[in-house]
Amino acid sequence: MNRLTWPGALAFLGFLACVPLANWMIGHAGTVCVPNGPCLIPVAPDFGHGALMAPSGVLMVGFALVLRDAVQRLLGKSWGLVAVLVGTALSVLVAAPGLVVASGVAFLLSELADFAVYTPLQRRGLVLAVVASSMVGLVVDSVVFLTLAFHSLDFLAGQVVGKAWAVLVSIPLVRGLRRVAPTPA
């Protein structure tokens, strides 16, 4: 396992912070909170059919996917996998009782999918690897979470768009990461 550095520790802690924040947001922050359901935020404008909505935790999940890649880039594969396991445990611990299984399983599978795509691509190009792996991870997370939590894919488009916004907003951070860690750890 690679030596822990302050940028790596910061990425690791940021990644872990996304987990409780996403779980808190889904039940407490949004423009609309559905009774016995998630709090929603608009993730795309209203083009005459109503704004595209998604559970508010999607933003933190998008950031988590990017930060997991940063942990791996800065600290190595072992730390990346440790982050996934600790994040999964944290997800299960902080999720609302009715969302524990959905939250834990979706987190684990999406982060492992992210890892599987990011690892071989990272030497070809950091931004490409982060965007591609995050897109795969966010689709896996969305499908698994919505299926297990709500037995419905009604919010799938909003989930994917909301998480994609978080990934796109993170690209400047990813570009800056190349200065801190020009090659993978």
5 confidence band (pLDDT: 50, 70, 90): confident
What pLDDT does residue 82 have?
A: 95
- Characterize the bridge pairing of strands 52-55 and 39-44: antiparallel
What pLDDT does residue 21 have?
A: 93
Helix axes 126-150, 100-121, angle to 10 degrees: 160
CA distance 147 to 135: 18
- What's the predicted TM-score (pTM) here? 0.88
Digit-coded pLDDT (tens) for 98-150: 888 998 999 999 999 999 999 999 988 999 999 999 999 999 999 999 999 88
Q: Please give the sequence-ordered ranges of beta strands (E in DSSP) within the chain, or none if there are none.
A: 32-33, 39-44, 52-55
Considering the chain, what is the average pLDDT of its residues? 90
Write down the architecture of domain 6-180 according to CATH.
Orthogonal Bundle (1.10)
CA distance 43 to 89: 28
Per-domain boundaries in the chain: 6-180
Rounded (10°) CA dihedral 171, 55, 83, 136: -60
Comparing 7-16, 68-77, 79-88, 150-159, the range with the smallest average pLDDT is: 150-159
